[in-house]
């Protein structure tokens, strides 16, 4: 019996453990080693040093600006799109006919299924400040409003929209599944008591999907902290440093400037920030209580 259990553990947990070791443990160990070295463009390490962290916390003048942009980007995208708008999409698509809701969700998933470059090119065409841009064709050509240069006027809002529209799809799918899993008798009982649509959302749906809401919030927060591909493709961190988030700054310092050890030190700090944020949100949202099995109490 014990041998069977050990075989099951190796069979089912073995591949996951190998993937975790190769793609998380080994990279973190390598990052720590590089962060405490002097690796540069030559990819050679000649000494162990803490100068990268001294430079990071005392000598990098751009770090405060980059951290501020990152915080605004993460909380703005999370609050406007990845959680709030994803929840609204789930509520709307579950309230209409199932076929109509399925069609709408499929269309909304197209940006996530398309290559990042294609998605970025579409946004570049949309925000083109000339008359050929899609946004200006509608606002200037059809409505007669002045031309809009979103790239220079509101660059931070732009990257929130770019990442938010594609990021809301994940919350939409998870919240839709959670809403559909709510027993129908709860809705029937609420309607029998005279509850309207908003009351059902507040007193039936939201309490029933606390676990998915908490999971999406934590997951998307960590995802936004390390994501930069759409920002890189659409604005490249500009104009100037107005859309330079921390993850993109790490990439540029390491791979474009050649300061690999300094980039590794910055990445290590990002790992620590993500771990602290995850633990704090886990405690704040009381995820342990949400993961407990439901109990039926009889008095």
Q: pLDDT tens across 23-66, in order?
A: 888 988 999 999 999 998 888 888 999 999 998 888 788 899 99
Q: What are phi and psi of 258, to 5 degrees?
A: 85, 10
- DSSP letter for 42, please: T
For residue 37, the cross-strand partners are 48
DSSP annotation of 293: P
Structural domains of the chain in order of their starting residue, each with its CATH number: 61-243 (1.10.3720.10)
Residue for token pair 């990021």: 167
Structure tokens at 215: 């999971």
Cβ-count burial 127-159 (b if 16+ within 10 Å, e if not):
bbeeeebeebeeebeeeeeeebebbeeebeebb
Q: 126 and 133 in contact (C-beta within 8 Å)?
A: yes
What is the per-residue pLDDT across 223-247, written as a single tens digit (0 to 9) for each?
999 999 999 999 999 888 999 999 9
Sequence-ordered list of residues with C-beta below 8 angstroms from that of 267, at least 6 positions apart, any chain: 31, 35, 250, 254
> d(Cα 115, Cα 152) in Å, to the nearest integer?
26
- Show the 3-state SS of 47-73: CECCHHHHHHHHHCCCHHHHHHHHHHH
The residue among 197, 3, 6 whose CA lies nearest residue 94 is 197
Q: What angle do CA 254, 259, 263 make, to 5 degrees?
A: 50
3-class SS of residue 44: coil
Percent of the chain clearing pLDDT 90 (strictly above): 54
Q: DSSP of 193-217, one letter per residue?
A: TT--HHHHIIIIIHHHTHHHHHHHH
pLDDT by position in tens, the chain (length 299): 677 887 877 788 888 889 989 988 898 899 999 999 999 888 888 899 999 999 888 878 889 999 999 999 999 999 999 999 999 999 999 988 989 999 989 888 888 888 999 999 999 999 998 888 888 888 887 788 888 888 888 999 999 999 999 999 999 999 999 999 999 899 888 898 888 889 999 999 999 999 999 999 999 999 999 999 999 999 999 888 999 999 999 999 999 989 999 999 999 999 999 999 999 998 888 777 776 665 544 44
Name the nearest CA neighbour of 63 among 260, 244, 231, 258. Answer: 244
Both structure tokens of 296: 């039926």
Q: Which own/partner contact pairs does 51-60 have at CB distance under 8 Å and 24+ positions apart? A: 52/261, 52/262, 52/264, 52/265, 53/265, 55/262, 56/262, 56/265, 56/266, 56/269
pTM, entire model: 0.89
| Separation of alpha carbons 174 and 86, rounded Å | 9
Could you tell me which of 76, 157, 166, 160 has the C-alpha nearest to residue 113?
166
């Amino acid at each position: 019996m014990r041998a069977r259990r050990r075989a099951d553990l190796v069979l089912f947990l073995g591949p996951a453990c190998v993937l975790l070791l190769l793609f998380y443990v080994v990279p973190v160990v390598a990052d720590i080693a590089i962060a405490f070295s002097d690796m540069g463009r030559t990819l050679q390490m000649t000494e162990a040093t803490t100068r990268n962290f001294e430079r990071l916390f005392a000598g990098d003048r751009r770090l405060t600006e980059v951290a501020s942009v990152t915080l605004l980007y993460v909380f703005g995208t999370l609050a406007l799109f990845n959680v709030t708008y994803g929840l609204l999409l789930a509520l709307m698509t579950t309230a209409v006919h199932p076929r109509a809701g399925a069609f709408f969700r499929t269309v909304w998933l197209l940006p996530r299924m398309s290559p990042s470059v294609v998605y970025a090119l579409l946004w570049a065409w949309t925000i083109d400040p000339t008359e050929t841009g899609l946004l200006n064709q509608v606002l200037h050509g059809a409505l007669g409003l002045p031309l809009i240069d979103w790239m220079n006027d509101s660059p931070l809002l732009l990257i929130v929209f770019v990442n938010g529209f594609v990021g809301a799809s994940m919350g939409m799918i998870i919240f839709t599944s959670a809403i559909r899993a709510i027993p129908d008798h709860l809705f029937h009982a609420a309607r029998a008591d005279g509850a309207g649509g908003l009351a059902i959302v507040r007193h039936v749906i939201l309490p029933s999907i606390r676990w998915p809401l908490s999971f999406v919030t934590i997951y998307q927060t960590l995802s936004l902290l390390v994501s930069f591909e759409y920002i890189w493709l659409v604005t490249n961190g500009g104009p100037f440093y107005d859309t330079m988030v921390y993850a993109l700054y790490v990439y540029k310092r390491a791979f474009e400037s050649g300061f690999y050890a300094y980039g590794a030190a910055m990445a290590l700090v990002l790992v620590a920030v993500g771990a602290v944020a995850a633990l704090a949100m886990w405690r704040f949202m009381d995820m342990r209580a949400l993961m407990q099995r439901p109990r039926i109490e009889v008095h």
